[in-house]
Amino acid sequence: MSSDDVIELLAYKGQVYAALVNGEGDICRSGIYHPEESGQLGDIHWVKILKSVPGLSGAFVLLEKNVEGFLPYRKNYSFQEGDFLAASITREAQHGKGLRLKALPDLKIPDKIKNEKKPFLLKRGKSLLQIWAEEFPRAEIRSPHPEIALYFPKEIRSRFQIDYNAFDAGLKEAFEALGDPHFDLSHGIEAHLCVTEALTAIDLDAPQGAGFEENRRAIEKLLREIELRHLGGVILIDPAGLPLKKRFALTKFIQEYAKQTFSLKSLNVLGATPSGMIELSVKRERKSLFEALQSLEEQGV
């Protein structure tokens, strides 16, 4: 990243559109920040055990604001219904799956909180805004909305600039396009995205035909699109019009490319399925931007 990178923010319907933009105006990172939403990645809560489920090796728990989540068992540590304990959120609710948490049994809790016997937010995790600000210390932070500065900790608030040209209509259109399930890649290849609770399927289509090299370049670009949309879990990619043998060869090229250049460290190219689908795995943490934008569209926002 260069010194020309800018973090641009837009207050929109009670949330914040966030984009890291390079000197050419391209979106390099993207996300939606929900200042008041419960259950965000890294938050530490005082939770109540609702129901232990041995078959799932964990328990359902209650957070404040009647938000529920799932807490896997820890080795040598048992949960009893009605107990309270500290836990951190390791996965936000997404694609029909609820919050997932990790127990923090050694965390010291004030007696006042223990005695109240009700769920409580102990500490907020770092927001995307904070993470970006730390990762890109020279990037200016701009927005046409001065109230956004209140969401920053004091140490980075000084970098905030009011800019009424920031996050303009063109950037907003490009940002919201990340919620479109159909998008162009390269060399005439189109991607069609279908997200389910179990996996994400991406079908590549080339109306004019495509060979090995066209598919390779298109999938390299697709990995960036996966990152921008915060897609996670198992992802299956169906290349455009390649015979089975070439699909296996293509997978090896994609594996090497991902290892050398892809910035999303949690992405793993697992290989090709017997039917020639390229299988990826991306650790699920934050709610996907794609899902969030789809939800806004369904609500007519």
Distance separating alpha carbons of residues 182 and 131, to the nearest angstrom: 29
Q: Helices (H), strands (E): how many in the chain?
A: 7, 17
pLDDT at residue 3, rounded to an integer? 63
Residue 236 phi/psi, 5-degree rounding, is: -110, 130
State residue 167 phi and psi, 5-degree precision.
Answer: 45, 60
User: Which parts of the chain have pLDDT scores under 50?
Assistant: none
User: What's the pLDDT at 298?
Assistant: 67
pLDDT for residue 204: 97
pLDDT reported for residue 249:
93
The per-residue pLDDT for 265 is: 65
User: Which pLDDT does position 263 carry in this prediction?
Assistant: 57
- Between the CA of residue 192 and those of 11, 241, 278, what are the distances in Å? 29, 14, 15
pLDDT in tens, 203-223: 999 988 889 999 999 999 999
pLDDT value of position 260: 79
Q: pLDDT by residue (tens digit) across 147-205?
A: 988 888 887 888 999 999 999 999 999 999 999 999 999 989 999 999 988 899 999 99
How far is the C-alpha of 248 from the C-alpha of 266, rounded, in Å? Answer: 22
**Which of these CATH numbers, 2.40.50.140, 3.30.70.20, 3.40.50.300, 1.10.167.10, describes 44-123?**
2.40.50.140
Question: Cα angle vertex 284, ends 279, 288, to 5°?
Answer: 100
Q: What is the residue extent of each domain of the chain? A: 6-36+126-173, 44-123, 180-291
Report the pLDDT value the prediction gives residue 264, as an integer from 0 to 100. Answer: 57
What local confidence, expressed as pLDDT, does residue 108 receive?
95
pLDDT for 216 equals 94
Other beta carbons less than 10 A from residue 49's beta carbon:
18
Copy the structure tokens of residue 96: 């029909």
Identify the CA nearest to 200 among candidates 268, 298, 257, 281.
281
Strand partners, 184: 190
Using an 8 Å Cβ cutoff, are 214 and 189 in contact? yes
Tokens of residue 89, six digits: 């959120």
8 A C-beta contact, residue 71 and residue 79? yes
**In this predicted structure, what is the pLDDT of residue 12?**
87
Which one, of 275, 264, 263, lies nearest residue 236 by Cα? 275
Q: Give the Cβ contact number of residue 260 at 10 Å.
A: 7
Please give the Cα distance from 286 to 16 (Å, whole number): 15
Query: Which CATH code fits 6-36+126-173?
Result: 3.30.420
Predicted pLDDT at 299: 63
Q: Among the residues of the chain, which ranges form H helices?
A: 111-116, 128-135, 154-157, 169-176, 212-228, 244-261, 289-298
